[in-house]
Structure 1
Amino acid sequence: MAVFTPVSEADARELLTRYSIGEFVSLRGITAGIENTNFFLETTQGSYVLTLFEVLTQEQLPFYIELMHHLASKGVPVPHPQALKTGERLTRFKDKPCAIVTRLSGGYEASPSAEHCRQIAATLARAHMAAVDFPIQQPNLRGLDWWRKTTPAILPFLAPEQSELLTSVLDEQIALAQSEAYQALPRGPAHCDLFRDNVLFDGTFEMPRIGGIIDFYFAGCDTWLFDVAVAINDWCIERASGVFKPELVDAWLSAYAAVRPFTSEEREVWPRILQAAALRFWISRLYDYHLPRPAQTLKPHDPTHFERVLTARRTSPAPVLP
C-alpha cells in the first residue's frame, strides 16, 4: 500500500470534529495509488474516502474538489466532497491538504465486457457535457509540457531503441499540438486517468450497473478526445499485447458518440491522440519506476506495458470513430 503519511484512529477522530458527518467507526488504508495517501473511513453516518494529498498543492486542489462537487451536483456518479462546518470542502491535516469524499458502491471490473464499456463511455460523455460550464480552469498537469520536462530525466535509463521511440513520438506530439486541427478539438475538464480500476460497478457481470467514476486527481482541462483515448487504451485491449479488442472498441466509441458525437477534427487527429495517451503513461511509469518517491510500501506499475501499447498504436490501424 502506498502510504506516505500515517494516520491513526486518534488522528481521524480529531479530523472528524471539523465535519458534521458522524462519529468515527473505523479507518483502513486503501491498497492502491502512488500519488496520494488514501483511507476508507467509516462513520456513524456513512462510508467515505479520506485523502491526504502528497503531490498536488493547496492552490491546485480546488480544481479537483470543486469539479467533483460540480459533477455530483449534476447527477454524474462521482465521489461528492464533504463540506466542513465552515462550508469549505478542503482542509489541511498532518500538514497536508486533505479532503473527505463519499465512498461509491461497487468494485472495479478487471475484464470488462462490451456492456461495461458502453456504460462507462456514456457516463464519460455525460461528464464532459456536464463540465462545460465549470468555471475553474487548470491544465492537465501531466500533459505535453510535463512530457517535455520529464523526458530528459528518464532517457538515461532507456535502451537506444526505446529512446528513439519516445523522442520520435514526443516530437510528433509537439508538432500536432501546433496544428489547426488540434487547436479546433472540443475540450474542457477531463478525467485524464480513466482506467478500469477508476470505475466502480454494482450488479453482476452479465447485468452490470455503474457505481461511478473515482480518482479525479489527475484531471485537467484537455481535449475530450485525449480522455477517450486514455480510456480505450486500457478498457478495450488485450493485456499481453496492447492490441485492441474490436468488439469492445466499437461498443465504447458508439456509446460515447451517442451522447456527444465526434467532430471532423477529432477524426483527423484520432490516431495520433491514441499515441499521445499511450506516451503519457509510458513516460509517467518510467518516471515512477526509475525515480520513485519514498513511501512505506510502493510498487510502481510496469512501464513496459505502455511501451507495448504505444508500439501497437504505431503499427496497427486506428479504429474508426463513429
Structure 2
Amino acid sequence: MSVYTEVGRDELIAFIGEYAVGNLIDYQGISAGIENTNYFVTTDQGEFVLTLFEQHEFAELDYFLEVMTFFFKHGIPSAHPAEDKQGNYLKSLCGRPAALVMRLAGHTVDELATLGQCEAIGDMLAQMHLAGQKFKHRRATQRGADWRESIAETLLPHMSAEQADMLKAELAFQRHYSDLELPWGVTHSDLFRDNALFIDNELQGIIDFYFACDEFLIYDLAVAVNDWCINEQGLIDIERYHRLMNAYLQRRELNEAEQSNWNLVCRAAALRFWLSRLQDQLFPREGEMTQIKNPDAFLKILQQHRHNPLSLNTLQNA
C-alpha cells in the first residue's frame, strides 16, 4: 500500500457521494506496502480504506472483491468492500479502478510477531484454506514459476556474479515446481505482517487480497512462515515456526507430497519476494509516498532454506 495517484479532496467528496457512507471528514495516504494507492478515509458514518489499483484492469478486479466477500461470508475476519448506491463494488477514480473497503479494527504487526500472533495466523490460514475449497472462481497466479524465471532474466545482468550463480542454481532446483501434484485452491499469497490486523494477540482481520490466486496451499503457508516467523537476525525462528505450523496442522494436515516438497515450496516463496523486491529496488515506480522493501531480507531467508531446511518431523501433526 503506497500512494502513486494523488486524490484531491473535491474528487474524493464526489466519489464517496455515490455511496451511502456519509460525508467526508478526513483522509490520508497510507505509506505501507508497495503495490496500490491507498488512503484511510473517515466519514461521519465510519472509517474506510480507499484503494486505487495501479497494476490491475477493471476486468480482473471483480475476482479479488469476490474473494474478500466470500471469506467475509464464511466467517474469516476480512475487510468487506462497500457497495455504491447501485450495488457496485468497483468504480473509477482519477483514471484508476477504485474500491472503498470497510476499515477493520486493530493494527498491523510492525515489529517481530509474538508467539500468540504466529499461532493466530497459522490457525486462520488453515481455516481460509478449508473454506476456500468451496470458492468457485479461478485465477492463475501472476507471480508463479513462469514469472520467477522471466523476471530473473531481467535481473541477472544487475547482480553480482555470486548472486547470479545462486539464482541460476535455484531456478534449476525449482524447475519442476509447476509439475508438482499438491493440494491447491484460492490463496492469499501475500499474508505478511502488514496484511493482518491485531489488538495484542487477538487477530482482528486479514486485508489486502490483491495477490489472491489459485496456488498450492502450502505455498500460502510458506509465504506466512517466511515473514511471521523471523527473529531479530532476520532468520526463521524455530519457536515461532512451531507455533504457527502446529496451529495450522491442528486444522489441516499436510499429505505426503506436501511434506516431501515443503523445502522446495519454502524456497519458491522466498525466491518470489526476493525477486519482486529486487525489481522494485532496481526499477522503482514514481509515487507521492512509496515504500521499497529491502530485497536482502528474502535473500537471507532463501539462503537459510537452501542450507538449513525447516523440519516437519518435530511438529505435532506431521
Q: Distance in 1 between matches of 2:177 and 2:143?
A: 17
* Contact 2:31–2:291 (8 Å) recurs in 1: no
Quote the residue 2:21 is aligned against.
21
Shift of 1:171: 2.1
Shift of 1:299: 3.5
Q: Distance in 2 between matches of 1:299 and 1:245?
A: 26
CA offset digits 1:59-106 (Å, max 9, x no partner):
221111110011011111011011111112111111110001111111
- The alignment status of 1:142 with 2:139, answered yes or no, reads no
- The alignment status of 1:31 with 2:31, answered yes or no, reads yes
Q: Distance in 1 between matches of 2:290 and 2:202?
A: 32
* Contact 2:31–2:289 (8 Å) recurs in 1: no
Q: Distance in 2 between matches of 1:92 and 1:58?
A: 9
Quote the residue 2:280 is aligned against.
288
Shift of 1:135: 1.8
* Contact 1:106–1:211 (8 Å) recurs in 2: yes
Quote the residue 1:156 is aligned against.
157
Shift of 1:246: 1.2
How do 1:44-63 and structure 2 match up within 5 A? Answer: 44-63=44-63
TM-score, normalised by the number of residues in structure 1: 0.94
Quote the residue 1:198 is aligned against.
195
Q: Distance in 2 between matches of 1:319 and 1:295?
A: 42
* Contact 2:81–2:102 (8 Å) recurs in 1: yes
Q: Distance in 1 between matches of 2:295 and 2:15?
A: 37
CA offset digits 1:141-161 (Å, max 9, x no partner):
111121122111111110011
Q: Distance in 1 between matches of 2:207 and 2:252?
A: 21
Shift of 1:260: 1.3
* Contact 1:249–1:319 (8 Å) recurs in 2: no
- Aligned equivalent of 1:233, options 196, 207, 226: 226
SS of aligned partner of 1:193: coil
* Contact 1:238–1:245 (8 Å) recurs in 2: yes
Quote the residue 1:217 is aligned against.
210
Give the total of aligned pairs: 313
Quote the residue 1:176 is aligned against.
177
Quote the residue 1:130 is aligned against.
131
CA offset digits 1:95-137 (Å, max 9, x no partner):
1100011111111222222211111111111111122121211
SS of aligned partner of 2:20: coil
Shift of 1:264: 1.1
Quote the residue 1:273 is aligned against.
265
* Contact 1:236–1:249 (8 Å) recurs in 2: yes
| Matching residue's letter, 2:77 | P
* Contact 1:192–1:219 (8 Å) recurs in 2: yes
* Contact 2:79–2:102 (8 Å) recurs in 1: yes
Quote the residue 2:293 is aligned against.
301
Q: Distance in 1 between matches of 2:154 and 2:20?
A: 45
Shift of 1:239: 4.3
SS of aligned partner of 2:22: coil
* Contact 1:241–1:312 (8 Å) recurs in 2: no
TM-score, normalised by the number of residues in structure 2: 0.95
Alignment RMSD (CA, Å): 1.4
| Matching residue's letter, 1:79 | A
SS of aligned partner of 2:133: coil
Q: Distance in 2 between matches of 1:251 and 1:40?
A: 33
How do 1:303-322 and structure 2 match up within 5 A? Answer: 303-320=295-312, 322=318
| Matching residue's letter, 2:87 | G
* Contact 1:124–1:256 (8 Å) recurs in 2: yes
Stretch deviating more after TM superposition (29-38 or 273-282): 29-38
CA offset digits 1:146-192 (Å, max 9, x no partner):
112211111111001101111211222222322xxx22x11111011
